[in-house]
Amino acid sequence: SERSYIMIKPDGVQRNLVGEIISRFERKGFKLVGLKMVTVDKGLAERHYADLSSKPFYGSLVEYICSGPVVAMVWEGKGVIATGRKMIGATNPANSEPGTIRGDFAIEVGRNIIHGSDSPESATKEISLWFPDGVNE
Ligand code: ATP
Ligand code: MG
């Protein structure tokens, strides 16, 4: 079944939103198959966001992801990549609908709480980057 890489960013952890976010994915019906807390080093953050390396905010994005521990997860279930993105909401919380995670809990694009894979290709890449030893069945 389909899998997505979902990561609670440092601000989400600092603001005690781990339980809230896990609960939303559980209640939706997805299955948690990988979970760990990680203090991210610069190299890992740079690889995770490699596609954005030409953007003006790349340096501050990498710094943000390294600013405290993240919660790295793999969630499984039908449509989890697209549905997970819907549950997360638009990149900029100014445009995120209420009811989405960013819409309910964030106001700044540079501190938007959570990451979700945007395609099957990026999910595969991100899961092997963050969980090189694999996840549960
Ligand atoms: P993510 O990949 O983190 O799930 P996303 O797919 O919604 O977010 P991307 O375009 O992949 O959005 O951007 C990655 C991250 O870079 C965003 O989540 C946000 O934290 C940051 N970012 C994006 N655009 C900007 C911007 N204009 N200014 C500052 N930070 C930005
Ligand atoms: Mg993205």
Indicate the annotated binding residues for ATP.
Answer: 9, 57, 85, 91, 102, 112
- Cα–Cα separations (whole angstroms), residue 88 to 39, 85, 117: 22, 5, 11
What kind and span of H or E run contains 18? Answer: helix 18-28
Query: What are the pLDDT digits (tens) for 23-52?
Result: 999 999 999 999 999 999 999 999 999 999
Instruction: Indicate whether residue 115 lines ligand 1 (CB < 6 A).
Output: yes
Query: What are the pLDDT digits (tens) for 90-119?
Result: 999 999 999 999 999 999 999 999 999 999
Predicted model pTM: 0.97
Instruction: Indicate whether residue 116 lines ligand 1 (CB < 6 A).
Output: yes
Instruction: Indicate whether residue 59 lines ligand 1 (CB < 6 A).
Output: no
Residue numbers annotated as active site: 115
d(CA 137, CA 131): 13
